Structure formats: C-alpha cells, structure tokens
A and B are shown apart, each in its own frame.
Chain A
Amino acid sequence: MPLLDDKQISALSAAIQRTPDCPGRLSKQELHGCLAGFDAWWESEGLTAANNAMLDHKGAELKPSEAAILFREVLTAKHAEAVTARDAAAIAARVEVKQ
C-alpha cells in the first residue's frame, strides 16, 4: 500500500491528540514524525516481519489488512493500561469471551 500522505498523517495526529492516550512528552512535530516513521517501517519491514513471525501458525500469507488487525490487537492487549478505560473494558470483554 502507498504511504499515508502528509495530510493523512496530520489528521491521524490530530485525532490521537484528542484522546487521553496522546503521548504527552512528544511535541506535535515529533508525534507527526513518529506516525510517519511507523507507517514507513510497516510498509518496508513491518508487514514482512509480521508475516514471518506468524509463519508457523498460518496456512497462507496474510493480507496486509489481516496482519494489521492481528498486530493491532496484540499490541493493544499488551498495553491495555495505556489505552482509554472504554477501550480497555472492550478488550477485556473480548479476551474473556475468547477464553
């Protein structure tokens, strides 16, 4: 997929800043750079690395969107204390159902 353009990164940055999860130590410029850097990493290395990490547990190459969803879910579950209470409750409910 193409990288997010500057306008999309700005919109994403603005949205994150409207949540309690915004990393307060970063400047606006740094947050923008982090998001762009993460996007670039995901496209250049992250997706391949994610697929390799799941190599023994899947029958076929995952689509980028599928890998992204799994990646997001694992990270969110691992760092649930850093997300909003509403999201944490939703994650906890999902984990409970799965167990």
Chain B
Amino acid sequence: MSTTRIFLSPKSADFPASAYAQLSAIFNRKVIAFDASVEESIEWTFRAAQGLTGPLTLECDFIMASAVANSIVLGATVEAVTPGDAVDLDSADSFASTNNSSAVTVPGTAGYLARATITLTNDDGIAAGDLVRVKISRKVSDGGDTATGDLYLLGAELRDAA
C-alpha cells in the first residue's frame, strides 16, 4: 500500500478570525508568515483521502526571514468530523490537543529551506472520508522557539504511515 499524501499550500489556507499568520510572497513564492512574538495560526480544510491510516505526520517546509541561529517550534492541531458526529459545526469546533515538533535548528543562512516534522499523536481519530481541519501555529512561547524574526511556511505535507 502506498503512502497517502495531502499537500497543504499557502494559497489554499483558511484564516482564523483573529491571530492569523499572514499570506505573503517572498521572491514570488507564496508563504505564510508567522510572527516571532505573537502566536499565530493558519488552517486547511479537506476531506481525508481514502486509504489514509495512522499514525500521521506533518512535514512543514519553511525558511526564516532573518534568523541564522537558534530554533523554532511548530504545532499542529487536527479536527476530524465524521458525518453524524455530535459536533455543531456552525457554533463549535472539536480540535484535538496540539502536537508540537521538536525544536528545529534554523539554517545558518536566512532563506535556506528547512523542514519541521510533527507526529500527529493527537489526530482526533481521523479516518478516510472525514471532514478535516489541520491548524498549524508557531509555538512562540515554547522554550525551544528561540529564533528571532518571521518564519515563512512554504507548504506542508500530511502523510500517513502506509
């Protein structure tokens, strides 16, 4: 069985009502810019692909605006809703607990690509066919997030273990 992959691009992101990371363009590449001081997030909505099985990982590709040392921490939160679930979608959400990456050392040159991998231990019981939201945030208050300046997310890939 082949690995199931879902790519999350900056332009397909949804923006929360507040404290959202910003869609921007760096050298004509669309990025999501995360602040270093205020925790911001961004979301993607999709239907879980057939064949998707846990455990899931999320690989986040990023560059730094100015930091050339220290580390960052990204977090991911999953909401998976199956038709018939007791979740009132027009007034509530059901995100599971946040999963954090380890502290990822940023490249020594700003603009060089780096990757943070998040194991989605808390996946809200995601199953093929579920309506899913994945929220990514920069964990600016985490002790491992020490790098200064914006983080530019270029995209993320959700993949399963198959």
Report which A residues bind B (CB closer than 8 A): 10, 13-14, 17-18, 20, 22-29, 31
Contact = CB atoms under 8 A, between A and B. Distances in A.
A28 to B, nearest CB: 5
Given A24-B64, A24-B67, A25-B68, A14 B37 contact: yes
Given A20-B65, A22-B148, A27 B70 contact: yes
- Interface size range of chain B in the complex: 10 to 19
B28 to A, nearest CB: 18
B77 interface: no
Nearest to B143: A29
B66 A28 contact: no
Given A17-B35, A26-B70, 9 more contacts: A10-B37, A13-B37, A14-B35, A18-B149, A22-B65, A24-B110, A26-B69, A28-B36, A28-B145
Contacts of B147: 27-28
Contacts of B64: 24
A29 B146 contact: yes
A24 B68 contact: yes
A34 to B, nearest CB: 11
Contacts of A27: 69-70, 146-148
9 contacts: A14-B37, A17-B148, A17-B149, A23-B66, A24-B64, A24-B66, A24-B149, A27-B70, A28-B146
